[in-house]
Amino acid sequence: MSKTAILYRMVTDEHICPYGLRSKDLLEREGFSIEDHHLTSREETDKFKEKHGVETTPQTFINDERIGGYDDLRDYFGKDKAGQTGTTYTPVITIFSVAALLSLAFQYVVSGDFISVRTLMLFIAFSMTLLAVQKLKDLYSFTNSFITYDLLAMKWLRYGYIYPFIEAYAGIGMVAQLPALAVAPFSLFIGTVGAISVFKAVYIDKRELKCACVGGDSNVPLGFVSLSENLFMIAGALIMWLM
């Protein structure tokens, strides 16, 4: 038996509602044929909302019953709430995974080998650089989170603004194979301060905080992963001196 849904969504020259597209895609994946009605102006959208007593679009109707917006439609089909909820390690795992693949690819192109000390150095360098980019995209948001647990940033707030630039410089310097004395002290310094700060906040003070390692708007919990970032910096500095 054919399943039909009626969907009203905003589609104008200036705006195409993303949740309307998501609702349409979800209905199609659930095997529904769709009567897709476009609300092509703000006035038409306002009249629709007033008529049906709703505050938002899109709106989906199935069997003459109004289901509601995209989140309501997901509930109707027994699906979890869309988007990221709660704490997650996904951003850090993604960055470390991409850094690992970049280091393997880079090392293979340069030397024909995959695994070497240089590969480890590249992994640390790419990780630091990618993490720095996440912080630099919104310095204010990053520092708001960072100053709540970093011991130096608590006393000297400007360090929070400088930190991502130092991290990026150290990572790029490792890739470029700059002299150890030009790079390693910076990596060692921020890594050591960071490691002590995270260890104190998490394992001594037992505070439950969000990590600023991938930017201030993340839901990554402060803990072992955050400590690993700082230990990588320390390891990178030591490897540079040893090499």
Angle between helices 224-242 and 158-176 (to 10 degrees): 50
208 and 144 within one domain:
yes
106 and 61 within one domain:
no
Cβ-contact 192, 235 below 8 angstroms: no
Confidence band of 83 (pLDDT split at 50, 70, 90): low
Q: What's 40's domain CATH number?
A: 3.40.30.10
Predicted TM-score (pTM) of this structure: 0.77
Helix locations, 177-223, DSSP H: 180-199
Q: CB within 8 A of 121, min separation 6: which ones? A: 174, 236, 239, 240, 243
Quickly count: other Cβ atoms within 10 Å of residue 143's Cβ.
Answer: 23
Which three-class secondary structure state does DSSP give residue 190? helix
**Which residues constitute the domain of residue 67?**
3-76
117 and 46 within one domain:
no
d(CA 194, CA 191): 5
159 and 57 within one domain:
no
Which three-class secondary structure state does DSSP give residue 115? coil
69 and 97 within one domain:
no
Query: What pLDDT digit, counting tens, does each position of 159-198 carry?
Result: 999 999 999 999 999 999 999 999 999 999 999 999 999 9
Cβ-contact 156, 199 below 8 angstroms: no
d(CA 243, CA 237): 10
Q: Can you tell me which residue has the tokens 């340069």?
A: 110
Which one has a higher pLDDT value, 183 or 211? 183
98 and 66 within one domain:
no
